[in-house]
Amino acid sequence: MSNSYITTIGLEIHAELHTNSKMWCGCKNDPTEKRPNQNICEVCMAHPGTLPVPNKEAIKKVIKVGLSVGSNIADFTEFDRKNYFYPDIPKGYQLSQYKLPIVSGGQINGVELTRIHLEEDTAKSSHENGMTLVDYNRAGVPLMELVTEPVIHSAEQAGAFARELQRILRYVGASEANMEMGQMRVEANISVSKDPNVFGTKCEVKNLNSFRSVEEAIKYEVDRHIALIEEGGKVVQETRGWDEIKMETFSQRKKENAHDYRYFPDPDLPKLYLSKLFDNNELRKELPELPSSRRTRMQASGLKDDVIEIIISDPSTANYFDEVTKEKDTVYQTLAANYLIADIFGLLKKESKDLIAENFPVASSFKTLLDMIQKGELSSRGAKDLLPLMLADKTLDVKKTAEEKGMIQKNDPELLKAIVTEVITENPTQVADYKSGKESMFMFFVGQCMKKSRGAGNPSLFQELLKEVLK
């Protein structure tokens, strides 16, 4: 494909807000509910005579997201009716915001934002055996929509943006933003052009539910657009879907424009003067340390970037790591990160458990384990044997258990030298091989020493003693 084309991408990202109730009624907002049509009422189903009441907590969460990304918060806002007819919208319109969003401007990862507004989610349709079934549990769930400026120029940049937004939503407590559960959905508007001053015809790819899908769908669309143009064809403005199996997009419908929805202010909902409802300075004080700030702080401590991204991906993990490593140096932090990511995460994955702090060992116990390793009291092997016990029993006394199970690392040179002498005496053939130039035999001796010490001997000290004896 030609490299002379400029790719332009704008993202629209929907996130279901984490609130107790839905946007306009008291029905439970429960994304885990498997039984269809359980959390519904007359308001959800748009029965005649029912009136919506705005969810104050949902509005507050959108404002906090805006404050966390440097946006402007509106003083006055209202809700509009977005008119279209589909089974997942019982009212025949969706309550959304058009001209007066709650949030405008701001940036994430250097990408400028157009707006962040609040609307209601639709019901969930499924198609089977020639029938369409509709589950209204999701209908009316508060839904935040974030729209970027068309300033993204690669699939990788789009993916990085979406990942950072997910972190922010989780940190401020706005949304769990679990893409696999549909709590965060990405739509990408993509165009290509050879003229930097003119946008190409855009296509929108809807409902991308993983970061991989976001990046791969954009790459596919860019290649498709360029191929069409190079062959003398034209890109048609349309809405497209993404086939995860075939790894390609497919046409869904002609792309609608704003006027197609016949927006007008909803007469049943009050106009909102947000400054009378919320003190933005007080809301700012409620904001936690955000991912960007935490990333900078951890980089300054000397941790590797890939390790940092794993740790800060979930706020509970990041808070746990801070609790364990508070006032500790880079060596200690690196040690903690290695055992957390490689060992604790590995054990939880085997048990199909979520990688969140509530499933980790108690922070004080993990600190004890790390302190013992750093002091040479516990070997790596001993630590790996203790961690499953710590996950199974949150009240486990780490030091006492290590002592009872003979895991305390032996550092007595005289004791270890006796083991080394015994190993050398028992393996004359291997000793001869080593002295004749077969240096790989050295680790055989280390292994034998560790075996005789039942894993309790200090491996570094064993190596030093072996080098001395095998001169």
Q: What is the mean pLDDT of the chain?
A: 93
What is the pTM (predicted TM-score) of this model?
0.86
Confidence of residue 1 (pLDDT cuts 50, 70, 90): very low
Mean pLDDT of the region 34-52: 95
Do 341 and 425 lie in one domain? The reply is: no
Do 428 and 374 lie in one domain? The reply is: no
Q: Is the model's pLDDT at 142 over the cut of 70?
A: yes
Look at residues 243, 266, 282 and tell me which one is the last residue of a structural domain. Answer: 282
Give the model's pLDDT for residue 258.
Answer: 62
Element (H, E) at 398: helix 398-404
pLDDT in tens, 9-33: 999 999 999 999 999 999 999 999 9
Mean pLDDT of the region 323-341: 95
Do 57 and 129 lie in one domain? The reply is: yes
Residues 188, 135 contacting (CB under 8 angstroms): no
Look at residues 378, 404, 430 and tell me which one is the last residue of a structural domain. Answer: 404
Element (H, E) at 120: strand 111-120
Do 274 and 247 lie in one domain? The reply is: yes
Give the model's pLDDT for residue 309.
Answer: 96
Element (H, E) at 296: helix 291-300
Whether residue 1 lies inside any domain: the answer is: no
**What CATH code is carried by the domain that includes residue 437?**
1.10.10.410
More confident of the two residues 330 and 452: 330
Confidence of residue 440 (pLDDT cuts 50, 70, 90): confident
Residues 457, 408 contacting (CB under 8 angstroms): no
Residues 162, 13 contacting (CB under 8 angstroms): yes
Do 244 and 296 lie in one domain? The reply is: no
pLDDT in tens, 96-126: 999 999 999 999 999 999 999 999 999 999 8
pLDDT in tens, 218-267: 999 999 999 999 999 999 999 999 999 999 999 987 766 666 789 999 99
Give the model's pLDDT for residue 231.
Answer: 94
Confidence of residue 453 (pLDDT cuts 50, 70, 90): confident
Distance separating alpha carbons of residues 156 and 178, to the nearest angstrom: 20
More confident of the two residues 402 and 151: 151
Do 29 and 141 lie in one domain? The reply is: yes
Q: DSSP state, 378?
A: B
Reported as half-sphere exposure (CB side, CA atoms, 13 A), residue 221 has a value of 37
Distance separating alpha carbons of residues 424 and 448, to the nearest angstrom: 9
Do 171 and 103 lie in one domain? The reply is: yes
Confidence of residue 433 (pLDDT cuts 50, 70, 90): confident
SS3 202: coil
Do 333 and 312 lie in one domain? The reply is: yes
SS3 313: coil
pLDDT in tens, 253-311: 776 666 678 999 999 999 999 999 999 999 999 999 999 999 999 999 899 999 999 99
What is the tally of structural domains in the chain? 3
Look at residues 222, 251, 282 and tell me which one is the last residue of a structural domain. Answer: 282
pLDDT in tens, 193-214: 999 889 999 999 998 999 999 9
Do 304 and 220 lie in one domain? The reply is: no
Do 255 and 297 lie in one domain? The reply is: no
Do 72 and 115 lie in one domain? The reply is: yes
More confident of the two residues 114 and 406: 114
Distance separating alpha carbons of residues 146 and 113, to the nearest angstrom: 8
Do 47 and 187 lie in one domain? The reply is: yes
Confidence of residue 366 (pLDDT cuts 50, 70, 90): very high
Domain carrying residue 308: 289-404
SS3 270: coil
Tallying the residues shown for the chain, one arrives at 471
DSSP string across 294-339:
HHHHHHHTT--HHHHHHHHTSHHHHHHHHHHHTT--HHHHHHHHHI
Of 231, 228, 219, 161, which is closest to residue 201 (Cα–Cα)? 228
